Amino acid sequence: MSGSVVEIIRAKNAGGEEQETPAVVARAVYEHPYIVRLCHWINTVALFVMVGSGLQIFRAFPSFGAKIPQEDLLHWPRAFAIGGWLGGALQWHLTFMWIYLATGVLYVSYQIFSGNYRQVLFTRRDIPGVWPMVKHYFFFKEKPPQREAYNPLQKQAYTTAIILGVLSVLTGFAVWKPVQFSWLAWMMGGFHYARIWHFAVMWAILFFVLGHLVMVILHGWNNFVSMLTGWKKDPEY
Ligand code: HEM
């Protein structure tokens, strides 16, 4: 869906005669459906709580091996953790896990059934467009013309983020219920490895979020507002 305001501009042509020319003075495109925005922001809050409480849980046993005699892997500061202690953090983690899961399932289902997934899903068709975008962002080369809501690099990042979201839930279930989901833990190399995967997936998501925030800042206010209202003002395509 798109809307534009067309204004008639009066200007003199080369011959000096006054002439009326239609010009598009404002353009906005409806890019983010309501459900996508709702899930995006609830999921962002849930992820924040999941990471904070997850790190508090990790603080209770900050190691991935038998405790004796090796050192703790990482001393995560208490100030950057949520829940106060192990039991509290588990409550936060498991409560927000349902919110994180529900928004994830709602988002993915909506994308599939509405067909909106085409805007986000990275496919083979997008592969040739990745390198020119990388060259633009990292080597200051010319920006390739944009024809869709998301460029190939964005699609690649968003598709990866969604896959990481799924992996965070699967590894989490394997760690939470290793008996009931023993087959899941087995697929991940056992409970011990499932825990390591769960931790690694968290850092990968945080890495995505960091890149995502840098991009949002670089791409300006209109992009940010579009994720709040749905409408993107003056898109480049
Ligand atoms: C404060 C944190 C965040 C901000 C400010 C933010 C902002 C945005 C904005 C502005 C867009 C639209 C980009 C565009 O129109 O070109 C977007 C899309 C997206 N963001 Fe975020 N985001 C945040 C956190 C997250 C988190 C935590 C995740 C998941 C781990 C995430 C995943 C996504 C995905 C998958 C899309 C594409 C959605 C779609 O169109 O279906 N974002 N975000």
Residue 145: Cβ within 10 Å count = 9
**Where do the DSSP E strands lie in the chain?**
2-12, 18-30, 231-233
Quote the pTM value.
0.87
SS3 state at 28? strand
**Given pLDDT bands bounded at 50, 70 and 90, which one contains residue 146?**
confident
Q: Is 207 in the pocket of ligand 1 (CB under 6 A)?
A: no
Strand arrangement of the beta sheet that strand 2-12 belongs to: 2-12, 18-30, 231-233
pLDDT tens for each residue of 78-124? 999 999 999 999 999 999 999 999 999 999 999 999 999 999 999 99
Domain boundaries, the chain: 1-30, 35-229
Average pLDDT over the chain, rounded to whole?
Answer: 90
Q: Which CATH architecture has domain 35-229?
A: Up-down Bundle (1.20)
Taking the centre of ligand 1 as the mean of its atom positions, its distance from the CA of residue 111, in whole angstroms, is: 15
Pocket probe for ligand 1: among 101, 227, 231, the residue whose CB has the most ligand atoms within 8 Å is 227
Task: Give, using CA atoms, the residue closest to atom 25 of ligand 1.
Answer: 44
Q: Give the number of residues written for the chain.
A: 237
